Structure 1
Amino acid sequence: MSALSPISRAACIGGGVIGGGWIARFLLAGIDVKVFDPHPDAQRIVAEVLANAERAYGLLTGAPLPKRGALTFCASVAETVADAQWVQESVPERLDLKRRVLAEIDAAAPADALIGSSTSGLKPTDLQAELTHPGRLFVAHPYNPVYLLPLVEIVGGAATTPETVARAKAVLDAIGMKGVVIAREIEAFVGDRLLEALWREALWLIKDDICDVETLDDVIRYSFGLRWAQMGLFQTYRIAGGEAGMRHFLAQFGPCLQWPWTKLTDVVDLDEALVEKIGAQSDAQAGGLSIRELERIRDENLVGIVQALKAGQGGEGWGAGRLLKAFEQRLWAQAGAAPAADTAAPLELVQTRVSPAWIDYNGHMTEHRYLQVFGDATDALLRLIGVDLAYVEAGHSYYTVETHLRHLDEAKLGEVLTCTTQILGADEKRLHVFHRLCAGPERREIATGEHMLLHVDSKAGRACPAAAPVRAALDVLAQAHAALDRPIVAGRSVGLKAPAPAA
């Protein structure tokens, strides 16, 4: 079982835009995923979505994710769900198709498996109609990209048990998602009801030549879209009411709802001319960028917004940023102590792989990622000696105060990186370490990092001796490493020799 999630095996039926996002979300949470999708390009599509997801996670967080789950493509629905703990159905939005596929899932999945449907509008009671075990079926409606956007609407049908809803929410919470339980089932639930209203009005604005698609998107992304990203609708309007708050806002702007502005009850005719008009404007807006390129741009923007929200509220986080902060704290806590290591040699505490997010314009690992891996190795060493999350939260840690990096070779996309750590010296307050970073099966040395760390009382803002158990664990390692050959480059300075004075 993944250290991150209460489940370790998931099955995904359908690997398109939404199904592929679910696959990536589960895999990056350390969950093994089996997939069934009859599309001839399913494996390629899922691989591309997963590559984008890994790139986005590399930008989003430096917390230690669990080992990626195993991905398996299967030849039938029954084979896919045979040992699943969570089955996510993401087939096209047709009631007859979904009922048929869900019946296959229900017949073959283990009795205690959760069955979620990604439907964006069908009521779960209608989906349950032909199931033998309808109590475990619920709607788990996510938002694209599933691997980055955390919200999932959990909607139970008439036969869905409260236990099913509670279990589903617990799994989603554990993998960094926000499971919101919708109290009553209606078509399209909550999110799509709101989006449908906006979409209907937008189509009229394009049809009537009020604006083009670029202008309409600009209106959203440069104004209320930014507000919605962190406060939603009602809290945004509360602020708009000024010091008098929501009641004043409703009194002031409520009468507008009676004005004949909207066309929400008048359905636009999506005839061939309007479809072509919107399609041509959308093509021009894309500027030749492929769907995968647009996805990567979208992911980078979302990461930036969430990271900014994580830093809000004096570091406490806000909205999706607070959710990410809590998720990262669980990741760090679940990382626990580093595994026991052979102290007779430099410690091998970190092994990772060069992800797409680490690649620069030359196609090689960008230079600040070398420091990131060395930082991960230092963190693993600290966990090994007892400087874990609880120790840090109690107000003590080691801070890096001096660093010297040597870049010796390039690392390529997908290469396995191994970092070793040697302790060069330690006393009650200081820790002197030397890292070597090697790449590929031949373990060629591509960088070294020499670091001096200082133990601090973070609340007092000054150096202090490490706690006795930490110091004892560190002394054992330092004494063992004292017998190792000291790296010949340790202590090397940076710079050119000063020129000789002129005669």
Structure 2
Amino acid sequence: MSKINKAACVGGGVIGGGWIARFLLAGIDVDVFDPHPEASRIVGEVIANAERAYAMLTGAPQPPRGKLTYCETLEEAVVDADWIQESVPERLDLKRKVLTEIDAACRPDALIGSSTSGLLPTDLQRDMRFPERLFVAHPYNPVYLLPLVEIVGGEKTSHGAIKVAMEKLPPIGMKGVHIAKEIEAFVGDRLLEALWREALWLIHDDICTVETLDDVIRYSFGLRWAQMGLFQTYRIAGGEAGMRHFLAQFGPALQWNWTKLMDVVDLDDALVEKIGQQSDEQADGLSIRELERIRDENLVGILQALKGGHGGKGWGAGKLLKDFEHTLWTASGSRKHPEDIARPLRLVEANVSPAWVDYNGHMTEHRYLQVFGDTSDALLRLIGVDFAYVERGHSYYTVETHIRHLGEAKLGQAIHSTCQLLSADEKRLHLFNTIHDTATGQAIATAEQMLLHVDAKAGKAALAPGEVLSKIKPISEVHAKLPIPDGVGRHVGQKR
């Protein structure tokens, strides 16, 4: 699969910062150029929100975060990149100038994407020396969570550049959709513009308030759109006869004079103030950053729900997330494993994120189990029980767990986990995992676990194959010589 090796971002605002976060969290080094005096603060806040969101989004092992470098010049930022994302303000003269400068400074084989939400790529590439590698790569905010990218080529854009760009997006968890013809505002923003225009008229004419309008969307068709889109939603509305019946039944309504769609509302001072005041009341004191975090939490919940849709196969954006996690799990199996097996294996490194803490500010109980589960999974990958192994129909299932809470993991704290293999036979693995405070080495919690090798298709225990047992044996032999950890064999309520 084609991958981005190094990225450059020119512009670090809301969209540019989202691209930077998306690249970094995919393990890609990013060079950034943005002359704004507060660029590093703005980008830093976006990255912080992205890290918080990713901690909630998936338990799959993340790659090591890419290196972020702020550059003094545009030329310095783009010189080594193979994907360059331009996200400067939406002015044709400015974008054309910046893109021409990027084109002159970067490698001839580098791809150049523009985050424009409406300008035509043919207009953007007019003065470029290598216009064939320029395309619109229009994302949606927040870029680090919403996976769609509209890929639009201009008259001089090569089919090869479009193809390679589409291939490079799935490894960072994004879905490219190729828009066949360039058109102002492309597809997504055309739909949004139509809805926005009608919404402004409804406020102008005092039909409803901004909060009521938002409620109409989020409590009804917005929920349907999140997982079915427009046409599939209406296909269902047509009943067993499907889309043709729906069009026959509701098509005549398109002739009715319901809409002011092509009339442009006058955004005079009075209407701006009305919308502004109602929007302030709706926000009820919540800051933009607080609203962003609420938005991210809700998006994560929707994506996770969609991941479990269609009988666990995933649906829509949830299937994309499921496929992305598959990529992460597969990649984690090829990373460097602990070389020193003469001590408990250090397998998981983490920081306690805001998404992991409860009302006391401490890591919540189910997150301890998540870290312990990640630790056991890391051991399984070490002995060859990786994603491919599971897909072939065999795995280890956890049949028993006993957790002891010895300390408190707090917000922002660096933690790591270790695994000691207490015993192993042809079917069972007996593990003792420990979460440590990385700064002091102090044990925060322990989990004793029994894992059973199973034939998942048959639904019963089965002997592990020789290839797995051969990898277990050296670890088991060495760990048998280690002191038995304090807490092994304890039961709930046992006196110390």
TM-score range, shorter chain: over 0.9
Which of 410, 420, 423 matches 2:421? 423
Which of 436, 439, 456 matches 1:438? 436
Is 1:293 the counterpart of 2:297? The answer is no
Q: How far apart in 2 are the matches of 1:64 and 1:8? A: 19
- Give the residue type in structure 1 aligned to 2:392: A
Q: By how many angstroms is 1:444 displaced? A: 2.2
TM superposition score normalised by structure 2: 0.97
Q: How far apart in 1 are the matches of 2:121 and 2:344? A: 56
Residue aligning to 1:228: 225
Q: How far apart in 1 are the matches of 2:212 and 2:26? A: 38
Residue aligning to 1:380: 378
Q: How far apart in 1 are the matches of 2:31 and 2:417? A: 32
414-423 or 203-212, which deviates more: 414-423
43-52 or 207-216, which deviates more: 43-52
Q: By how many angstroms is 1:340 displaced? A: 4.4
251-260 or 356-365, which deviates more: 356-365
Residue aligning to 2:406: 408
Residue aligning to 1:157: 154
Q: By how many angstroms is 1:471 displaced? A: 1.5
Q: By how many angstroms is 1:478 displaced? A: 0.9
SS at 1:126 equivalent: helix
Which of 86, 100, 105 matches 1:89? 86
Q: How far apart in 1 are the matches of 2:281 and 2:25? A: 35
Gaps of 5+ in 1: 498-503
Describe the shift of the 1:416–1:41 C-alpha distance in structure 2 as closer, same or farther (beyond 3 A): same
Deviations 1:420-464 (A, max 9, x none): 111111111111111121123332221211111111111111111
Q: Tell me if the contact between 1:5 and 1:31 (Cα under 8 Å) persists in the aligned partners.
A: no
Residue aligning to 1:453: 451
Residue aligning to 2:301: 304
Q: Tell me if the contact between 1:422 and 1:434 (Cα under 8 Å) persists in the aligned partners.
A: yes
Q: By how many angstroms is 1:45 displaced? A: 1.2
Which of 61, 65, 70 matches 1:64? 61
Q: By how many angstroms is 1:270 displaced? A: 0.3
Q: By how many angstroms is 1:149 displaced? A: 0.6
SS at 2:170 equivalent: helix
Q: How far apart in 2 are the matches of 1:460 and 1:413? A: 43
Residue aligning to 1:74: 71
Residue aligning to 1:258: 255
Residue aligning to 1:36: 33
- Give the residue type in structure 1 aligned to 2:181: R
SS at 1:387 equivalent: coil
Alignment map for 1:349-360 (pairs within 5 Å): 349-360=347-358
SS at 1:313 equivalent: coil
Residue aligning to 1:185: 182
Q: Tell me if the contact between 1:5 and 1:175 (Cα under 8 Å) persists in the aligned partners.
A: no
Alignment map for 1:320-359 (pairs within 5 Å): 320-337=317-334, 339-359=337-357
Residue aligning to 1:493: 491
Q: How far apart in 2 are the matches of 1:361 and 1:124? A: 49
Q: How far apart in 2 are the matches of 1:359 and 1:32? A: 29
Residue aligning to 2:205: 208
Gaps of 5+ in 2: none
- Give the residue type in structure 1 aligned to 2:154: G
108-117 or 439-448, which deviates more: 439-448
Describe the shift of the 1:356–1:71 C-alpha distance in structure 2 as closer, same or farther (beyond 3 A): farther
Which of 108, 113, 119 matches 1:111? 108
SS at 2:285 equivalent: coil
Which of 32, 46, 63 matches 2:43? 46
TM superposition score normalised by structure 1: 0.96
34-43 or 292-301, which deviates more: 34-43
Q: By how many angstroms is 1:277 displaced? A: 0.4
Q: By how many angstroms is 1:275 displaced? A: 0.5
Q: How far apart in 1 are the matches of 2:42 and 2:358? A: 24
Residue aligning to 2:464: 466
Superposed CA RMSD: 1.4
Q: By how many angstroms is 1:496 displaced? A: 5.8
Q: How far apart in 1 are the matches of 2:416 and 2:325? A: 23
Q: How far apart in 2 are the matches of 1:365 and 1:105? A: 45
Q: How far apart in 2 are the matches of 1:486 and 1:136? A: 61
Q: Tell me if the contact between 2:56 and 2:300 (Cα under 8 Å) persists in the aligned partners.
A: yes
Structure 1 runs (4+) deviating above 4 angstroms are none
Q: Tell me if the contact between 2:31 and 2:77 (Cα under 8 Å) persists in the aligned partners.
A: yes
Q: How far apart in 1 are the matches of 2:223 and 2:293? A: 19
Is 1:122 the counterpart of 2:122? The answer is no
Q: Tell me if the contact between 2:2 and 2:164 (Cα under 8 Å) persists in the aligned partners.
A: no
Residue aligning to 1:390: 388
- Give the residue type in structure 2 aligned to 1:376: D
Q: How far apart in 1 are the matches of 2:25 and 2:292? A: 18
Q: How far apart in 2 are the matches of 1:386 and 1:476? A: 14
Q: How far apart in 1 are the matches of 2:462 and 2:54? A: 35
Q: How far apart in 1 are the matches of 2:361 and 2:16? A: 30
Residue aligning to 1:501: none
Q: How far apart in 1 are the matches of 2:71 and 2:409? A: 34
- Give the residue type in structure 1 aligned to 2:350: T
Q: Tell me if the contact between 2:338 and 2:346 (Cα under 8 Å) persists in the aligned partners.
A: no
Q: How far apart in 1 are the matches of 2:210 and 2:191? A: 19
Residue aligning to 1:16: 13
